[in-house]
Amino acid sequence: MFKTILIPIDVGHTDKSNHIISIAATNGNKDARIILLNVVEDIPKWAAIELPDGFQTKSLQDAKQQLDAIANASEINVEVDVRIGHPYQTILDTVKEVDADLIVIASHQPGLQDYLLGSTAAKVVRHAKCSVLVVR
Ligand code: ADP
């Protein structure tokens, strides 16, 4: 049984979130800490100039709101965490920081069934030092 479980969530595709949370809870011990994480893509300065003021702050707020909604709707107690960065690198940095022993991740976004694993999920599986459970 796992103690600290990280669930990376792409806020554009949250339909499986409840299912994934229950899989995480099933694999966690009684007091397992379950953390939902969204990584808001860091926008390079040259690209940010083209965007409206406060675009990234708004993206962070929207992502936090979506994760809070998932957490509030869940019968399972989960924490939420939203960070700015490069998704796969930030997922791995967070794993280290919270000392997660399991990552539960969806294989890819719905509709791209031809791929076995999406690009973020593939890099997480390849580089994570802890166990990774891929939900298809
Ligand atoms: P695809 O390339 O088909 O979009 P991804 O590998 O990006 O597939 O997504 C698979 C899973 O990776 C998502 O369901 C989510 O668990 C995780 N993921 C992708 N992007 C992010 C992100 N920005 N923040 C947190 N998790 C993410």
Indicate if ligand 1 lies below 6 Å from the C-beta of 87.
yes
pLDDT in tens, 86-133: 999 999 999 999 999 999 999 987 666 666 889 999 999 999 999 999
Q: Exposed (0-12), middle (13-18) or buried (19+): which is 30, by Cβ within 10 Å?
A: exposed
Quick one: pLDDT at residue 109?
Answer: 76
CA distances in angstroms from 70 to 25, 28, 73, 104, 106, listed in the order given: 15, 19, 5, 16, 16
* Cβ atoms of 59 and 71 closer than 8 Å: no
Quick one: pLDDT at residue 15?
Answer: 86
Q: Check residues 2 and 52 and name the one with the higher pLDDT.
A: 2
Q: Quick one: which atom of ligand 1 is closest to the CA of 123?
A: 6
Q: Tally the residues of the chain.
A: 136
Q: Using CA positions, which residue lies closest to atom 10 of ligand 1?
A: 108
Confidence tier at 50 by pLDDT (50, 70, 90): confident
d(CA 77, CA 100): 16
Indicate if ligand 1 lies below 6 Å from the C-beta of 37.
yes
Going from N- to C-terminal start, the domains of the chain cover 2-135
Confidence tier at 84 by pLDDT (50, 70, 90): very high
The CA 45 to ligand 1 mean position distance, Å, reads 23
Taking 80 as the threshold, does the pLDDT of residue 73 lie above it?
Answer: yes
d(CA 57, CA 113): 32
**Which residues share a beta bridge with 135?**
106
Quick one: pLDDT at residue 113?
Answer: 62
CATH number of 2-135: 3.40.50.620
- What average pLDDT does the structure give for the chain? 93
Quick one: pLDDT at residue 56?
Answer: 87
Two structure tokens written together for 36: 């939902």
Q: What are phi and psi of 112, to 5 degrees?
A: -105, 50
